[in-house]
Amino acid sequence: MSVQSTTRRLTTRDISRLRERGEPIAMLTAYDCVMAGLLDQSGIDMILVGDSLGNVVLGHETTLKVTLADMIRHAAAVTRATERALIVCDMPFGTTIDPDTSLRNAVEILQQTGVQAVKIEGGLAMVPTIERLTGYGIPVMAHIGLTPQAVHQLGGYYTHGKATEAADRLLREAKALEQAGAFAIVLECIVPDVAAAITAELSIPTIGIGSGPGCAGQVLVINDLIGLNTRPAPSFAKPRADAARLVRAAVADYIAETKAAALQTRAGAA
């Protein structure tokens, strides 16, 4: 007799209801079974299997080298480890070049991983793609502002929406993406007042990262949250722990104990 879990996984409707009743939405990234399981057990609402794994896990300078196979492997691991959180998988660079290609790749992601939604970077150009995917029954989280896959076109990482024209463009993009069928939208590194204004204009949840507290929810890279980095975290991330220090201390203790035991063995043999 098989044992079935009584835990119900959250859906996009549940996430929408959080926005409707004014309850902030909590989202974090995860890339492996252990971390995903810990986040799920802690009660996180959504987990993003982000292409930030290129930076955080694989050691690349940008997300551009992350492949569809990379995303599928890590998203499947995250899904296997979780029961409650809604899982969203990034569609990596080069997989959303047109609506039909995007649909094929999104179908593969859902079939191979079991995630509940995909995330697509980009503004007005992604409207036809989001319409295509949502028309096929695939939930899509949109993403505007700082879009790391376009880092070379953008000319680096910086805050968006400082000029009136730029702020107006972001609002137009957000409204168009909502109209296209996105169930939520990430606002990354957008001037806080602009992000709050966009949130007020939309009925779908906005998930902020480096965009101030006026969004309907927040997302962070888990390593930035717990201080598990070898490089400084972004200025907007407030580490709640120093996991890197704990790891270094544990490893140093292990090294010292191992070497001391070896020396004692040699001394006894002598």
Rounded to whole angstroms, the Cα distance separating 106 from 138 reads 8
**Would you say 40 and 83 are in contact if contact means Cβ atoms under 8 Å apart?**
yes
Q: 20, 188, 201, 257: which one is catalytic?
A: 188
Biggest distance spanned by C-alpha atoms of the chain = 79
The contacts found for 191-194 with CB under 8 angstroms, 24 or more apart, are 191/159, 191/160, 191/161, 191/162, 191/167, 194/161, 194/167, 194/170
CA distance 49 to 76: 9
Residue 121 annotated to the active site: no
Helices (H), the chain: 12-20, 33-42, 53-56, 68-80, 99-113, 127-135, 151-154, 164-180, 192-201, 222-226, 243-269
Report the amino acid identity of residue 15.
Answer: I
DSSP 8-state code for residue 8: P
Residues taking part in catalysis? 188
